[in-house]
Structures are given as C-alpha cells and as structure tokens.
Amino acid sequence: MLALTALLIVGLAIGFFILSRAKAISASQGVLANLHSRPSYHGTYVMLWAMIVGLALLLALALGWNAYLHAKFIADIRAVLPDARDIQINLVLSDAMAIAAGQVSSKIDPLREATAVSFARADAVRIWATVAISLGGAFIAGVVGMRNISADWRARNRSERIIRGILWASAAVAVLTTLGIVLSLIFETFNFFASIGWRVDKFLFGTRWSPLSGVHDGQMDMDKVGAVPLFAGTLMITGIAMLVAVPIGLFAAIYLSDFASPKVRAWAKPMLEVLAGIPTVVYGFFAAITVAPFIRNTGEALGLSVASESALAAGIVMGIMIIPFISSLSDDVINAVPQSLRDGSYGLGATKAETIRQVVLPAALPGIVSAVLLGVSRAIGETMIVVMAAGQGANLTANPLEAVTTVTVQIVMLITGDTEASTAAGPAFTLAFTLFCITLALNILALRFVRKYREKYD
Amino acid sequence: MSDMTDTVKISTKNVDVFYGDNHAINDVSVDILHNTVTAFIGPSGCGKSTFLRCLNRMNDTIDSCKITGDLLMDGEDIYAKSVDPVQLRAKVGMVFQKPNPFPKSIFDNVAYGPRIHGLVGNKTDLEEVVEKSLRRAAIWKEVKDRLHAPGTSLSGGQQQRLCIARAIATAPEVLLMDEPASALDPIATAQIEELIDELRHNYSVVIVTHSMQQAARVSQKTAFFHLGDMVEYGDTSTIFTNPVDQRTQDYITGRFG
C-alpha cells in the first residue's frame, strides 16, 4: 500500500512537470527567450518539490506513526499484565498483529483477540491517513510551486540548488553510515570493557579466550577474554598467506610487465584476475576439502603430526586468494615506471635483469609496498576461508601445523552462536573494533605510500 | 678541426627499417667518423631518431621492428648473431631526449654503468670514475657537496648533464644523443653544446637535433633526413651554405619542416 503510494507520488510529480512546463511556455508569450529559465527547469523545480514533500511525509508518517502505535499498544498490554516481562508483552503484541493480519499466532486468548481487533482498526486508520496526507501534501506543494511560474521566476537556480542538496544528501548517507558503524563499534567496545571492570589489559594481553563459557547473567569472566591467541592466529595465517602471495604475485607481475609478449599478457592478466573473482566461500571449501587433507597426508608421510585444520592450509589458500591483488597492483605500478628509465638503463648496456632489479623495482617500490599492505589488510579481514579451514579452539602456538583460530572466526562464532545477542555482542564488537583499527592503520599507511609514489612521476 | 680524422667508426650501407608494414628508413648509407660530431637533422617523423637507435640496437626492444642492410662498427657487423646487444650498448652509449635519471642518488646514477660492467675494482676507483665523469659533464661543481641526494632532485639541465656523465662513466667509444637539449633552456643548452664539443676529443658523437643552429654550432658532419630518406650527407659547412639538394635547401632556409 505504502509502496504504491510512493509510486503515485512520483506519478503526480511527473504530472506536475508536464503542467509546469506547459505553463512556463505559455508564460513566455510565444518567445521562449523571454523566460529566465528554460521550460524544463520550471517543470523540474515543481516536480522536485512535489516529490520531496510527498515522499518525506510518507516516510515520516510510515515510521513515526508505526512506532507510536507499537508504544501505545505495549503500554495498553502492560496495563493488563503488570507483572509480565518485556519479552512476554512483545510476544502478545506480535501475536495480536499476526491475528489481525490473518496469520498463525503462538497462542489465542481473549487479550490477544481484543488487542488484535483494536490494532487492526488503528492500523487501517494509520495506513489510509498516511496515504491521504502524503498524496495531499505532494499535491499542495505542486500547486503552490506552479503558482510561482512566471517569465522572471528563477526556476533553474532553484532546481539546481535542490539537486545539489540531493547530491549532498547522498554523500552524507555514505559518510554517516560509516560513522554510525564506527560509533556503534566504539560504544559496544566501551560497554564490554566496562563489563570486565576496565581491565583492558586482560583483553589485550590475556592468553585465554573462552568468553562465553559459564556466562549466564551477562557477566564475563575477565580471565577468559584474553585475545592474544586470536591475534597470534590471525598474524600466523596472514604471515603464511603473505609468504605465498608476495613472491608469487610479485614475480608474476614482473613476468607480465617485462617479459611476457603482448599476446601472452593479453590472456594471462585477465586469467590471473579471475582468481580475484572467485567467491571466498569457494576458496574456503577448497582449503578444507582439498588442501588440508593433502597437507595432513603429506605431513604424516613425513612423520609429522598435522592437525586436520592446520594454519598452514588456511594460510596457503588465503595466499592464493591474495595473489591477484598483489600481482595486478604491482603490474600496474611496474608498468607505470616510465619506459625512458628502462631505455636509459639499456642504453648503458645493462641487461634486462639488471634493469629490472636496479632501476624498475626501486622506482616501483612504494607502489609495490602499498600493494602488499593492501593484501595484508585483506588477509587480516578475510573470514570465509578461515571459518572453514582454520580451527575454532583458541590455541596459542607457533607451529603452523596445528589448528589456530583467528579474530574473524571468533566473531562469526560469537554472533552465529546461540548465546543471547546482547551478551555475545560485547566481545564480538570489541574484536571487530580492534581489527578495524589495525586494517585502518594499514590502509592509511598504504595510501601514504601511494601518494608519495604519485608525486614522483606525475 | 685539427684533430679530425677520417677513420670510419661506424659504417652503414643500404639500411632499411620497417615497423610492421611501415617503411620507416629507406636505403640509408652514412659513415660515422672517429672523433667527429655528426648531426642528424630533418623534420619530425623523418626517421632520424629511428636510425640513431639502430646504431646501438635499441630497436631490439620493439618486436615489430625489422632492420636490413649493413651496419658495421670497426668493421664488425653490429647485427651479427655473435654480437651481444648488451655489450654493444656498453660501447655505444646513449643520451635521451628527456633527462631520465634513475631513482637513485647522484653518485649511484653515475656509478651504475661501471658497477654493472665491473669496470672498477674498488671503492676508491669507483669514486674516481664518478668524479671524473661528473667533471667531464661539467656538473661536478654543482653536485660535489650532495652526491647522495636523489638524481631527480636536480634541475632539468643538471639532470641532462647527469645523464651524460652517466653515459661517459661507462667508457663508451661512441655517444648517441637523441635531441639532448630539446627539454632545456638556452643556458643549459649552451652548456651541453660546449660539452659535446669537448667530448669529440675522445668519442664519436652522433646527435639528433631539431635545431639547425645547434647542428651548425656543434657538428662537423651533417646528414639531412626527409620522409625516411637520407637526402644529403656531408660537411656541416657545405650542407648549411651550399646544399646540393633542393629539399635540403628548403628545410634549412625554413621553407618547410
């Protein structure tokens, strides 16, 4: 119903566009140059006003009135059941709403039925009033806007101002969303630290991670929230991944940019970039089903004991996933090294290898470093591969053949586990915030390198 | 011109160059003499730079480029299978149109050639070679106190002289210069021209230039290229005062080009 109303408002606004344009043309008395603004600007101005007023009213009523009704009915139910807990009152209301909508409810009793009847009545009033008010608002805005139309009316400046406002609002949405996410991370992190008595050191330096074991009333044991094994695991898997990705990616980039013929390059580069398009969930089961058993069998043949969810398997597959990032970015920066530098080196009788090692790579180094740092921050934040292929137990070990867990795995386990969200959110958000700080720092570092690099050759 | 000799350093006969289907150089024969500055002049796209790059096989890096004809240096075929282009380029140095210092210190830029070719045994010798090269390129006084500053921190004219010093340090026998002063202001250009005249005592210098005054000032021999043909080759004084071909005359008097 409300979606249909939104469509109606848009249709109404388009109608106003056509009417306003016609009115502007007639106001020009036959000579269009008499108008300050082209007729379509007059049309756009009135159309935007009608649309903005209508949609804003619709949104405000749809959200506000709904919230008001909920609050009112919850208060009503609480008056009948003064001793009930919040969750029970909510259940009564949602059952009543289900009955009103003709759906199945968990239980039928006189209170629920009575609530359903009055809710249905109030909701119908709400919907029809919302439709009428927002359509009426759009209509009034359009009529008022049309009354202004005259040859001197500065519709172009006004409509451009509105459009600038729309663009600004779109940018603001992106920025505010980011800000909101960061603020909620910070807020939950503070709550969590408050719940362990501000013993931040226990979180940062403790070595035992088992935050939810034995937790019933939301009170954490501060000795079980040590995140060191998680960060150690993340660090180890990231390290293994970079050991795989940096040399292979860099060598591939050097081959593609300086040795491959244009024909080979034309198909090899896209092929390599296909690796970046494979969903991480595919890498995850590739790691868990193919690589991990292979490493385990190989290890056993050599007489080593290998866990079936070893850090090595997850790290290697993650490294393979990161190869295209490093190779593609490095290839770009190596290609950006001016041909004149290579010519200068060849002109002095340097070989290709000498030229690459001593001239091209040093010149491309800042770009390569930033590519590697971007790869690292991707590896740290990667989730799916480690969920499937790394372990879940928080082991503190330096042996890559054992199972370790990572920060991202623990966040997944906390949020998807069956502990109440309000309890599990604390440690999860705190881990997420720490992770966010680390990757943010790495990204800033990478950006600074890139900027330094750009200054050199532009 | 007392020290001018008639020894031929590089001899080229009936050279044709193709870029794919494009016939860039058509039947060119020029002799580059020892201890002489030879200037290649001509309008843009006439093939003079292409021909210059044939002399040290810089065109090898371009896949579609095909070269036929005889190119001999000291009587030996430059394009023979047995010749390693890397070794050839160590003997035939090149300075480019745009200064292209490596992203290294001034010292390391000049030391690059001697290091990769193993020309010097120890650090003292290397320092000596670097200083000598920088002195010969007339830039020593300006950089002697900041040898470890990056080469890119120098001004355009200084960078070009640094590139010349870098080429000299490799101890070449021939120096090819592709419009070495085109990116420079008149003062820096004058310094480079002075330097070229100086270099003639030890090397054969081949210079591609758009400036006819520059060719007249620094060279003893001039070759005029037009649309891939070498129209005329001879003593610079003859070419500029009494050209044989009408096209040469039109070009140097500014009627086209």
Q: What is the pLDDT of residue A453?
A: 62
How near does any CA of chain A get to the CA of B156, in Å? 14
How near does any CA of chain B get to the CA of A456, in Å? 9
Q: Is B145 on the interface with A (CB under 8 A)?
A: no
Q: Minimal Cα distance from A366: which residue of B?
A: B103
Q: What is the pLDDT of residue A287?
A: 92
Q: Minimal Cα distance from A351: which residue of B?
A: B86
| Gap between the terminal Cα atoms of chain B | 30
Q: Is B58 on the interface with A (CB under 8 A)?
A: yes
> With an 8 Å Cβ cutoff, are A344 and B163 in contact?
yes
Q: What is the pLDDT of residue A216?
A: 67
Per-domain residue ranges of chain B: 8-252
Q: Which two tokens stand for residue A266?
A: 């034309």
Residue A202 has pLDDT above 70, yes or no: yes
Residue A449 has pLDDT above 90, yes or no: no
Interface test with A, best of B86, B133, B166 (most A CBs within 10 A): B86
Q: Is B18 on the interface with A (CB under 8 A)?
A: no
> B231-237 — which CB contacts under 8 Å span 24+ positions?
B231/B42, B233/B30, B236/B39
**A422 — pLDDT class (breaks 50, 70, 90):** confident
How near does any CA of chain B get to the CA of A343, in Å? 8
Q: What is the pLDDT of residue B211?
A: 86
Comparing A236 with A195, which gets the higher pLDDT?
Answer: A236
Q: Give CA–CA dist A405/A391, Å, rounded.
A: 5
Q: What is the pLDDT of residue B138?
A: 83
Distances (CA, A) of B64 to A249, A411, B24: 29, 57, 12
Measure CB to CB from residue B102 to each of A262, A341, A346 and give the nearest one: A341
Domains (range + CATH), chain A: 2-164 (no CATH), 222-457 (1.10.3720.10)
> With an 8 Å Cβ cutoff, are B89 and A346 in contact?
yes
Q: What is the pLDDT of residue B136?
A: 85
Q: What is the pLDDT of residue B4?
A: 46
Q: Name residue B8's beta-bridge partners.
A: B33
Q: pLDDT for B174-208, tens place per residue? A: 999 998 888 778 888 888 898 899 888 888 999 99
Residue A450 has pLDDT above 80, yes or no: no
> With an 8 Å Cβ cutoff, are B116 and A347 in contact?
no
Q: What are the residue ranges of helices labelled H in chain B?
A: 48-54, 85-91, 106-117, 123-136, 140-143, 156-169, 186-199, 212-218, 236-241, 246-252
Q: What is the pLDDT of residue B207?
A: 94
Say what percent of chain B tops pLDDT 90: 46
Q: What is the pLDDT of residue A458?
A: 42
Q: pLDDT for B13-25, tens place per residue? A: 999 999 888 888 8
Q: What is the DSSP letter of B61?
A: G
How near does any CA of chain B get to the CA of A351, in Å? 6
Q: What are the residue ranges of helices labelled H in A256-310?
A: 262-277, 280-286, 292-301
Say what percent of chain A tops pLDDT 70: 98
Q: Which two tokens stand for residue B178?
A: 């592709």
Residue A136 has pLDDT above 90, yes or no: yes
> With an 8 Å Cβ cutoff, are A346 and B61 in contact?
yes
CB contact at 8 A, B38 and B220 = yes
- Out of A199-203, A406-410, A417-421, least confident range: A417-421
Q: Give CA–CA dist A211/A230, Å, rounded.
A: 12
Residue A164 has pLDDT above 70, yes or no: yes
Burial grade of A59 (CB within 10 A; 0-12, 13-18, 19 or more): middle
> With an 8 Å Cβ cutoff, are B152 and A456 in contact?
yes
Q: Minimal Cα distance from B103: which residue of A?
A: A363
Please count the other Cβ atoms lying within 10 Å of the Cβ belonging to residue A262.
7
Comparing A440 with A273, which gets the higher pLDDT?
Answer: A440
Q: What is the pLDDT of residue A418?
A: 80
Span B8-252 CATH architecture: 3-Layer(aba) Sandwich (3.40)
Q: pLDDT for B87-96, tens place per residue? A: 899 899 999 9
Mean pLDDT of A87-100: 87
Q: What is the ipTM of this complex?
A: 0.86
Q: Give CA–CA dist A69/A120, Å, rounded.
A: 11
Q: Give CA–CA dist B179/B202, Å, rounded.
A: 20
Closest by alpha carbon to A137, among A6, A33, A225?
A: A6
R_g of chain A, CA atoms, integer Å: 31
Residue B101 has pLDDT above 80, yes or no: yes
Q: Is B36 on the interface with A (CB under 8 A)?
A: no
Q: At what angle do helices A39-80 and A155-195 cross, to 10 degrees?
A: 30
How near does any CA of chain B get to the CA of A245, in Å? 26
Measure CB to CB from residue B96 to each of A343, A358, A362 and give the nearest one: A343
> With an 8 Å Cβ cutoff, are B104 and A349 in contact?
no
Interface test with B, best of A345, A348, A359, A457 (most B CBs within 10 A): A348
Q: Which chain A residues have a beta carbon less than 8 Å from that of B89? A: 346-349
Measure CB to CB from residue B103 to each of A349, A350, A362 and give the nearest one: A362
Phi/psi of residue B192, nearest 5 degrees: -65, -40
Measure CB to CB from residue A348 to each of B89, B98, B101 and give the nearest one: B89
Q: Give CA–CA dist A268/A274, Å, rounded.
A: 10
The per-residue b/e assignment along A372-395, b for 16 or more CB within 10 angstroms, e otherwise, is: bbbbbbbbbbbbbbbbbbbbbebb
Q: pLDDT for A260-314, tens place per residue? A: 888 998 998 888 888 888 999 999 989 999 999 999 999 999 988 888 888 999 9
Q: pLDDT for A4-43, tens place per residue? A: 999 999 999 999 999 999 999 998 888 888 889 899 999 9
Q: Give CA–CA dist A383/A393, Å, rounded.
A: 16
Q: What is the DSSP letter of B179?
A: S
How near does any CA of chain A get to the CA of B56, in Å? 8
> With an 8 Å Cβ cutoff, are A343 and B58 in contact?
yes
Closest by alpha carbon to A172, among A164, A433, A56, A63?
A: A164
Say what percent of chain B tops pLDDT 70: 97
Closest by alpha carbon to A422, among A220, A287, A180, A200?
A: A220
Q: Name residue B88's beta-bridge partners.
A: none
Instruction: Determine the 3-state secondary structure of B234 from DSSP.
Output: strand
**B256 — pLDDT class (breaks 50, 70, 90):** low
Q: Give CA–CA dist A316/A385, Å, rounded.
A: 10
Q: Give CA–CA dist A263/A250, Å, rounded.
A: 20
CB contact at 8 A, A188 and A430 = yes
Interface test with A, best of B94, B153, B206 (most A CBs within 10 A): B94
Residue A375 has pLDDT above 70, yes or no: yes
> A276-283 — which CB contacts under 8 Å span 24+ positions?
A276/A321, A276/A324, A276/A325, A276/A328, A278/A321, A279/A384, A280/A321, A280/A382, A280/A383, A280/A384, A280/A385, A281/A384, A281/A388, A283/A317, A283/A318, A283/A320, A283/A321, A283/A384, A283/A385
> With an 8 Å Cβ cutoff, are B86 and A347 in contact?
no
Q: Minimal Cα distance from B160: which residue of A?
A: A344
How near does any CA of chain A get to the CA of B102, in Å? 6
Average confidence score pLDDT of chain A: 89
Average confidence score pLDDT of chain B: 88
Dihedral sign for Cα A92, A94, A100, A105, please: negative
- Residues with Cβ within 8 Å of A16's Cβ and at least 6 positions away in sequence, in order, are A43, A46, A47, A50, A142, A145, A146
CB contact at 8 A, B203 and B95 = no
